[in-house]
Amino acid sequence: MDQSPSTVAGAPKIDFRTAGRLNWLFSDYRTPVAQPSRAGNSDRVARLIRDGKLQLTLQDAIQLAIENNFDVELRRYDLAVAETEILRAKGGGQLRGVPTSISELPSGEGGPGEPLLTAVGGYTPVVQLPSSSADLATITGTQSDLSILSATPYSAGSGIPAFDPSVSANVALSQTVYPQSDAFSTGSNYFSSHTLGGSALYSQGFSTGTVLSASLQGNRLNEASTRLNLNPFVSGSLNVSVVQPLLRGFGIHVNRRFISIAKSESSIEADVFRQQLIATISDVTRLYWDLVSLQQDLRVKHESLLAAERLNQDTKNEVDLGTQAPVDLTSAMAQVASNRQALINAQGLVLQQELLLKEVLTRKGISDSSVASASIDALTQIAPPVADQTPQLADLLDSAMKQRPDLALAEAQEQSSRAALTGSRNALLPEFNLIASMQNNGGAGTVSANLVASSGTTSTAPPSNLVGGYGSVLGQIFRRDFPDYTVGAQVSIPVRNRIARADAARDDIQYRQSEVRVQQLRSQVRLQVGNAYIAMQQASESYHAAVEARRLQEEALDVQQAKFEAGVATAYEVLQYQSGVAEARSAEVSALGVYAKAKSALQRATGATLIDNGITIDTTLSPR
């Protein structure tokens, strides 16, 4: 049953690359498109409705739940949520977390005359009919959170550089004109300049904590001045700088911790999906067996009514002949009325159980007229228990520790806690960064016309390597004609460091708590397996006892019926034995239903629900 996180590829997709018909180059700047949900029922529903009946085997019910159940569909989208976490972490962003809750189906009406088995599941069964908003457990689902982590999140820890490259650019055109009191600097009492400038910046962080940035700048200045040798003048620079942390923020494990946690979250969501499948399939199995038991009990109630009616007619004949007292006829008629009432109640329970199954197995439920009008024909009958087929308890415990998704999920969360603790411990360190930068400069311009006119010669012209345009500037930059260098260190030491110490201590405590919760969960798993194991053994023995009791009650009824026909027994005495037989038959049906649910509960407790029902994760991720 164990699947690698890569199996989420079949889940509802979020298209991160193609946004509509736009070129892939621009898709990074468009909203990703999530696959829409399906509102209608799967095609299997229509195929199973024949002659006004929903012909339903247990496997059909399980497949319908996988295809149509809303809880399962919600968990499929959670798998896609985990993909967004990985993408965010690879860009250097902090994580937003993933859901870890699963939903349980409603408890339903239960079997005939018995509460539901609650060895595993987390719900409280209610046998009585709901009569108010405070008594709706039979039709209301529940939720449980599988997380073992504290409600308080871990501290952010040391900062992580942005791994996604960042490119920015700007262009500016400006003009300045103003009067001045002195003409010495420009040769005029008016100052006028035109400037065209631009820059481009590239920045990227790396897993070692290194931050690399490079910038290219250019500026063209044209001034109305008779004092300038070069006018207009073009200047530019290329700067490359590196910041490398050596203490806080240093190390691949520190800076890639969110990527590690995000990948663990993907595994966690796969386990949550598996646990939701197990819960839904187990609950559907329980509801299906309850329907089978209720329908069998309905047949028992119908047979009991027919038997009471036959006895009533026989008693009436005997009263007419004078061989029975009229009071016996009253007792027989009362029994008919009582059995008819029991039959009506049994019919109501069957109809309510069918309604619940229709809603949990289809998307549209009874709003679909064909589903609403169809009665459910449960084709799979419960197989009686066979002796010596239950595995040893030690083997069941070993299987549970290997197969339970909630236990694997808890262990993955414990690993994530350890990774988060790396960041909070690193944040305790002082900040000590090495800084290095290199800048190449350039400048060139056109010889001023005023300078040539005033001297009458070009002998006073600037050096030839400073005469030119932006191409000359770029040549100077890449030839490194005018380089600058800077090397330094930056130190920041927080005095007392109380915030970081408190965060690290709390995160360490929460990590230790997660270790304890994993051990606690293992204890709960052992208890659930042992409880389900005992419950199934008891249910098997109870069923065999119920079969024997029913057989003896039927034999006693046959004897009493023969006495009645011989005139040596009253109708009242026969009625007592008929009631005993009816109760024994219902008890047998109930015991068999309890055994079936106990077997399903043991499968869930050991994590074998999917394997025993032939369900694979790949076939459930995207049933369209």
Q: Which tokens go with 467?
A: 């005469």
pLDDT at 326: 83
Average pLDDT, rounded, for the chain: 86
Q: Which tokens go with 507?
A: 């995160």
Residues shown for the chain? 624
pLDDT at 364: 92
HSE-up of residue 288 (Cα within 13 Å, Cβ side):
28
- DSSP secondary structure, 258-294, as one string: HHHHHHHHHHHHHHHHHHHHHHHHHHHHHHHHHHHHH
Q: What is the mean pLDDT of residues 359-379?
A: 93
Q: Does pLDDT of 132 surpass 50?
A: no
Name the amino acid, one letter, at 208: T
pLDDT at 353: 92
Residue 315 — very low, low, confident or very high, per pLDDT cuts 50/70/90? confident
Closest CA to 349 of 130, 120, 44, 612: 130
- Residue written as tokens 């598996």? 274
Q: What are the backbone angles phi and psi of residue 222, rounded to the nearest 5°? A: -125, 115
| Residue pLDDT, tens place only, 167-188 | 999 999 999 888 887 777 777 7
Residue 458 — very low, low, confident or very high, per pLDDT cuts 50/70/90? very low
The 3-state secondary structure of 291-334 reads HHHHHHHHHHHHHHHHHHHHHHHHHHHHHHHCCCCHHHHHHHHH
pLDDT at 308: 87
| Residue pLDDT, tens place only, 494-508 | 999 999 999 999 999
DSSP single-letter state for residue 93 = P
Q: What are the backbone angles phi and psi of residue 33, rounded to the nearest 5°? A: -105, 120
Residue 316 — very low, low, confident or very high, per pLDDT cuts 50/70/90? confident
Name the 3-class secondary structure at 129.
coil
Q: Does pLDDT of 134 surpass 50?
A: no
| pTM, rounded to two decimals | 0.84
The DSSP bridge partners found for residue 213 are: 203, 241
Q: Does pLDDT of 623 surpass 70?
A: no
pLDDT at 269: 93
- Residue written as tokens 């808890």? 410
Q: Which tokens go with 254?
A: 């520190």
The β-bridge relationship of strands 431-447 and 230-245 is antiparallel
pLDDT at 125: 37
pLDDT at 460: 62
pLDDT at 596: 94
| Residue pLDDT, tens place only, 380-406 | 999 999 876 778 899 999 999 999 999
Lowest mean pLDDT, pick from 266-280, 433-447, 562-576, 597-611: 562-576
**Is the Cβ–Cβ distance between 219 and 172 less than 8 Å?**
no
Cα distance between residue 31 and residue 18, in whole Å: 10
Q: Does pLDDT of 448 surpass 90?
A: no
